Chain A
Amino acid sequence: MTTFGFLVKSMFRRKLLVTLSMLSLITAFILFILLRSVAVLFSGVLEDVSDVRMQTASKYAIIFLLPHRYGEEIASVEGVVDVTHASWFGGALKEGDDSAMTFAVDPSTYFDVYDNYHISTEHLNAFLELRTAAVAPENIMERYDLEVGQKVPVVSTIFPTANGEPWIFDLVGTYRSDSETDFLPFLFHYEYLKEATGVSDVGWYTFTIADSEKASEIAQIVDSKFENSSDETKTMTESQAFRDMMQQFGDISLMMNGIIGAVFFTMLLLTANTMIHSYRQRIPDFAVLKTLGFSDGKVARFMMFESLLFCLTSATVGIGFAVLVLALVGPFLPAGLVLVVTPNTLLWGGCIAVALALVIGFIPAYSANRLVIVNALHAR
């Protein structure tokens, strides 16, 4: 028997109580990982949004289209570098599954404005050359089992075809982003949409500016150009636009962290109760250990080690299980919803486990240290 083996056996003296408490803590760590990965997803999107990229959309709602000529007027504003546009297509790559975003874009300018998206020259040229061409991000390729070179049928509820058949696109390439957590859309030629439907307006404009410090000034100039027109605009940095969109759901990160905090506070009380209960039941055992020659400090360390073992084991199992669940469930999540467990999340998980162990182990360890052998043996 080793000291470690002895401590493990001691910890499981009340198997049911400890196992149930451990399961609770494991569940808390599973929740922690899942919620943090959601929070990371949203914060990741915001972090990746450039402050030198701005968006002009309808002042009233993004569903209202803007005239095509606005692009040239925006480009004429001093400080604006590149301008592109995109239109929401609302396409479904699989029947009943419209979770992948589909945009009609201007391929000649889109990747200049979104310089954090990477596409090979070969694929970009193929995209530019063919009117029915489309490119898809890697996660959509994987999710819908697509291959470059194939024809992709897409059904749109916003722009249905005259005969009710799906739109057919030639998938000529793929692209990716610097960030794993970006929601990347399936892209095709705006010109194809324009010719097929006769639509001449666009969804929104995105443009880059030379100096992020001048974002407010430029936004004001752009919006003032279209003031008192039938298509008034609202211009803001892309990060602000994302924040506005996220605020419709509330502060995701705050909500997630709030839930995580509540879960761990409950766990703190529960596991502290278990540890104190476990300690009280084993007071005679600690008295025996001290009688046999285990010092006060050693017995206290046993208690603290047990607490660490309890929390770290639960954390390891919980985090491991959550990572496994994410890996298994990931392919079935909507395209773009990439839940990743970052090293930072793992580090936080470890830190929470250690902090929890220190807090819940402190009272039993302190009590074990102060335990008077004679009194404890007498109490038996």
Chain B
Amino acid sequence: MALINLENVCKSYKKGRDRVDVLNNISFRVAVGDFVALMGPSGSGKTTLLNLIGGLDRPSAGTVVVNEQDLSDLSSGRLARWRSESIGFVFQFYNLLPVLTARQNIELPLLLTKLGGRQRRKNAQLALDIVGLSDREQHTPARLSGGQQQRVAIARAIVADPKILVCDEPTGDLDRSTAIEILRLLQILNTEHDKTIIMVTHDPKAAEYAKRTMLLDKGKLVSRSSQPEVEAEVEA
């Protein structure tokens, strides 16, 4: 069953008097439990595509249906609520709030739920356990390493138990060994916690951790293939 369904999606921006087409007629489906790596050169539209799937932006044309919900039908307020319930976001630069501790950052999405304070803390603690940072709950982001911050960001992404994780270059700011830890964590979330993951990456080695890879170039989906084939195309 398709959890994410994009039909003829186009996205263009106005830059002064010019119109810049970022995505051209993109159509694809992602099944429940999939782990997709979106690859492509800079400016190919990967992040834009991810933003459309995550409901952060709206397409200029076409439809984006996620979890049986056509996102173009939703008002700004309902789209925000939908995001809080359905999507977990992981960014390259973590985007943690510097004034909050690790646990408070993780609790943040739960402020939108009806959970009481005790339950919120319990859920945040569980998320911290999953990412292996139970002993850092009182640390602010400034006192955490890049890898730890990304783990906190992942914990924040999963704390409300969304079906989908949208990750934009989650290892882009990390050294190789830390990046591997984060990718393994994402793999565990995919396989053991049934999270469907869409991950934008430049890094073919990072893409290896996904179940399949899609290649974007100049706003078009040029390939959707299994791992070795995509690698060959990127290298070419």
Contact = CB atoms under 8 A, between A and B. Distances in A.
B120 A292 contact: no
A380 B108 CA distance: 20
Contacts of B156: 292
A15 to B, nearest CB: 9
Contacts of A377: 56, 91, 95
B223 interface: no
A292 B91 CA distance: 12
Interface residues of B, number: 30
Interface stretch (B81-89, B177-185, B187-195, B199-207): B81-89
B77 interface: yes
B112 interface: yes
Contact of A374 (B51, B89, B91, B104): B51
Given A293-B109, A380-B93, A13 B98 contact: yes
B224 to A, nearest CB: 25
Given A293-B109, A295-B80, A374-B51, A288 B95 contact: yes
A74 B91 CA distance: 92
B56 A374 contact: yes
Interface string B23-59: 0000000000000000000000000000100101100
Contacts of A170: none
Interface string B197-234: 00000000000000000000000000000000000000
B119 interface: no
Contacts of A36: none
A192 B109 CA distance: 84
B108 A10 contact: no
Contact of A1 (B82, B98, B104): B104
B97 A290 contact: no
A64 interface: no
A277 interface: no
A297 interface: yes
Given A2-B117, A3-B111, A295 B99 contact: no
A368 to B, nearest CB: 13
A296 B77 contact: yes
Contacts of B112: 292-294
A377 B166 CA distance: 15
Contacts of A374: 51, 56-57
A293 B77 CA distance: 9
A279 to B, nearest CB: 15
Contact of B80 (A2, A9, A288, A293): A293
Contacts of A1: 100, 103-104, 107-108, 111, 117, 120
Interface residues of A, number: 26
Most chain B beta-carbon contacts within 10 A, residue among A2, A10, A287, A291 = A291
Contact of A9 (B77, B83, B99, B109): B99
A289 B91 CA distance: 13
A60 interface: no
Interface centre among A12, A287, A374 (most CB of B within 10 A): A374
Interface string B94-128: 01011110011001110110000100100000000
Contacts of A290: 80
A373 B166 CA distance: 15
A374 B53 CA distance: 13
Contacts of A292: 83-84, 89, 108-109, 112, 156
A380 B169 CA distance: 14
9 contacts: A1-B104, A1-B117, A6-B104, A6-B108, A9-B100, A292-B83, A292-B84, A296-B80, A298-B80
Interface of A: 1-3, 6, 9-10, 12-13, 284-285, 287-298, 373-374, 377, 380
Interface of B: 51, 54, 56-57, 76-77, 80-85, 89, 91, 93, 95, 97-100, 103-104, 107-109, 111-112, 117, 120, 156
Q: What are the nearest 5 A-B pairs in CB distance?
A: A293-B84, A295-B80, A9-B99, A293-B83, A1-B104
